Structure 1
């Protein structure tokens, strides 16, 4: 049974994450270059926990990180979506994106992130959305800036500094 399509862009289909995506996600999560700005690579158990977390987000918030596929061929590209992030005492909706290295430089992250931003503002009526980015992760910062996000502040989360990029629906 095909997964539910959450949104599409010119080249990308974003669909709900399922257990059958574990193999693709595991390849993504074990690529040291892809995971360079994250606490570390993920093993099979952690990848399944990631899928389960996204399923819970989908159920509870109606958003999650979704599987990004080439709309024409169905090829796995990576993941992109919207997830809740707690900063201090507040929960913000974050746009997250991670693509397989072989697809870097093709504009997929920007295209998918822009689609998620539009979805968050229009379908979900979020007033503000954020992206949490390692200060050294220049490519991710460029994606956030290309979709109209601006640096707001640096916070400490998961034991490291993260830049908060944000955009309000009125921007």
Structure 2
């Protein structure tokens, strides 16, 4: 189960941690994370379910959408930080998504390919699922998987 933590030091400044697991810390993305996000969003292999690697403008738009989600909902996709190194290795969180005729709360994630097959996605997604039920009081949480994934 994930636990909530106040703050940790990183990049010579305090960063608010939303969730912490054994190996990971999740915090809000910020504009300074753009280059790290591009390591995922511009990678053909990572973005196969989206059918293409993102261009610069698409990556910037992606980050803008996450920042907007924080303002609108109080959550979105969060930066996943490997506690051992302080490195941003992925993003995982909660988003509102269209599913048929309604909008649902979804757990989603995307990780750098050099961190695949280590259990990080499962660890982060489980923490986000628990957060949705325990902190947000959600009655249901979805995981929408594209047929290309």
**Pairwise TM-score range, normalised by the shorter structure:** 0.7 to 0.9
Q: Does residue 16 of the first structure (1) align with residue 23 of the second (2)?
A: no
Which structure is richer in relative contact order (CA contacts within 8 A, separation 6 or more)?
Answer: 2
Structure 1 alignment gaps of length 5 or more: 138-171
- The alignment's TM-score, normalised by the length of structure 1, stands at 0.76
Question: 1: CA distance between counterparts of 2:93 and 2:124?
Answer: 8
* 1:66 matched to 2:85: no
2:54 to 36, 42, 53: 42
Segments of 4+ moved more than 3 angstroms = none
**What is the correspondence of 1:7-156 to structure 2 with a 5 Å cutoff?**
7-137=19-149
Shift of 1:136: 4.6
Q: Is the 8 A contact 2:48 2:148 kept in 1?
A: no
* Pairwise CA RMSD: 1.3
* Aligned position for 2:8: none
CA distance in 1, matches of 2:49, 2:100: 22
Residues 11-68 of structure 1 show CA distances to partners (whole Å, capped at 9, x for unaligned) of: 0001101001110111211111101111321122211111111111111111100000
Stretches of structure 2 that go unaligned for 5 or more consecutive residues are 1-12
- State the aligned residue count: 137
In the superposition, the TM-score normalised over structure 2's length comes to 0.87
